[in-house]
Chain A
Amino acid sequence: MKISFLLNNREIELDVPSDRRVVDLLREDLALTGTKEGCGAGECGACTILVNGKSRLSCLMLAAQLEGCSVTTIEGLSPGDALHPVQEAFIEHGAVQCGFCTPGMVIAAVDLLRRTPDPDRPAIRRGLSGNLCRCTGYQKIIDAVEDTSRRRGKGKAS
């Protein structure tokens, strides 16, 4: 099946089986291995991507569903080699240990901050509750998201 969609702001046309899982299409067909597969059942959030701006699980989407959509993966979060402010904050706060959950966690945080401009810590916890991390104990991740939000608020004020 031929599908065309916007992938990280570039138009793309592919000929793939319509029931190919989006996570496989991204990782194996397009070599975008930033998106991870953890559980393959919607429980860990490692495969989170943005589809039309909303976080979705790429292990529970099939290729046909991408037709006409705009998809953002961790690779396309910011142009070129620049890092997204959430990524910068993750580095600064030591929110990355083994790194496996990080792409999904960052995408979930970006989605949260777009929809909730100034989330408090409980709201950040709820926003990231679909993403499991087995290393950090979550505190540093929440610190990083809180800091991104705080800095953005300051940026707007100045």
Chain B
Amino acid sequence: MSHVFLPPDLDRLWNILEENPGALLYAGGTDLLVRLRQNPLKPPSLVCLERIEELHGVRERGEEVFIGACATHTGLLADAIIRDNFPVLVKGLACLGSPPIRNMGTIGGNICTASPAGDALPPLYTLDAGLEIRSRNSSRRMALTDFILGPGKTSLQQGEILAGVWLNRHPPFAIHHFEKVGQRNALAISLVSLAALLTVSAPGIIERVRLAWGSVAPTVATSAAVEAMLTGRPLSRETMDSAIPLIGDAISPISDTRATARYRRTVAGNLLLRLIEVDRRCK
């Protein structure tokens, strides 16, 4: 049996964490409680973060936006600041799980679960998300790319929590795109996903581009080589065909019950072709 704590504020949380080493933290419970049910070893205690007011909400701070780690996906989908500034994140969250999963699951949980298939993650990688890590006596910022170390592995230390996500307001991209390929539309783990931020000049030249793929490597995959190859070239089938072979160096997909590695490689490339269509629709 595990004792479940429900601290109402951070001060109470720090006390609980000090007095209960080995406690596991959760917010929405949509990942941890599923894993615990499959695992006969129960942790001595669980700490649910959902009542901690400081970890909720979306706040504008100068040129940045702070998203509390316990903000639910449903809450973010309805938030005006998020909708105005980060359509790529909205598109990713809209296809995460299902309505009740989005009502319960949180952005902080999606990050700390560190699944290669987490649907919030590719958008956050393209947006250069920074994370606020807090403990009783310290608060530090680190890049999301440095925080996630591998499947289920983060650099969070004992006594620390992820307090929230920092994003730059007005990311300088005209096109925000997210596409997920799964076995069905709802409740499907993504087989491959692509988040893309793009600015295309009037004559059709790619001026700036950021790309991040989900489910094709132990963590979200990015490729400076592909981005460099695309920048300054026309957004065309020929350009994409020349960039697609470079994706292979950035990804290392596995074969599992849902798809083969070869299928994932092919789809990771083909998803780039969609950008041509998306750009046409924006005109």
Interface residues of A (CB under 8 A from B): 1, 17-19, 21, 40-43, 45, 48, 54-57, 59-65, 67, 108, 111-112, 126-131
Asked whether B3 lies within 8 Å of A57 as measured between CB atoms, the reply is no
9 contacts between A and B (CB under 8 A): A42-B97, A42-B100, A43-B187, A55-B99, A56-B103, A57-B100, A60-B29, A61-B33, A64-B6
Interface size class of B (residues with CB under 8 A): 20 to 34
Q: Which residues of A contact B98 (CB under 8 A)?
A: 45, 129-131
Interface residues of B (CB under 8 A from A): 1-6, 28-30, 33-34, 37, 42, 46, 48, 50, 74, 97-101, 103-104, 185-187
Given that A40-B37, A42-B34 are contacting pairs, would A64 and B5 also be in contact in the complex, using a CB cutoff of 8 Å?
yes
Given that A41-B34, A57-B104 are contacting pairs, would A19 and B99 also be in contact in the complex, using a CB cutoff of 8 Å?
no
CA distance A154 to B18 in the complex (A): 58
* Residue in B5, B48, B74, B187 whose Cβ sees the most chain A Cβ within 10 Å: B187
Closest chain A CB from B242 CB (angstroms): 38
Asked whether A129 lies within 8 Å of B3 as measured between CB atoms, the reply is no
CA distance A141 to B195 in the complex (A): 34
Asked whether A129 lies within 8 Å of B4 as measured between CB atoms, the reply is no
Given that A18-B3, A19-B2 are contacting pairs, would A45 and B37 also be in contact in the complex, using a CB cutoff of 8 Å?
no
Asked whether B4 lies within 8 Å of A18 as measured between CB atoms, the reply is yes
Asked whether B104 lies within 8 Å of A56 as measured between CB atoms, the reply is yes
Asked whether B97 lies within 8 Å of A130 as measured between CB atoms, the reply is yes
Asked whether B100 lies within 8 Å of A55 as measured between CB atoms, the reply is yes
Q: Which residues of A contact B5 (CB under 8 A)?
A: 64
Asked whether A42 lies within 8 Å of B3 as measured between CB atoms, the reply is no
CA distance A128 to B186 in the complex (A): 10
Asked whether B46 lies within 8 Å of A19 as measured between CB atoms, the reply is yes
Asked whether B2 lies within 8 Å of A54 as measured between CB atoms, the reply is no
CA distance A41 to B98 in the complex (A): 13
CA distance A111 to B37 in the complex (A): 27
Asked whether B99 lies within 8 Å of A130 as measured between CB atoms, the reply is yes
Closest chain A CB from B83 CB (angstroms): 16
Closest chain B CB from A136 CB (angstroms): 17
Across the two chains, which residue of chain A brings its CB closest to B94? Answer: A126
- From B1, B2, B42, B100, contact of A130 by CB (8 A): B100
Asked whether A126 lies within 8 Å of B33 as measured between CB atoms, the reply is no
CA distance A42 to B99 in the complex (A): 11
Asked whether B34 lies within 8 Å of A48 as measured between CB atoms, the reply is no
CA distance A130 to B96 in the complex (A): 11
Q: Which residues of A contact B46 (CB under 8 A)?
A: 19, 62
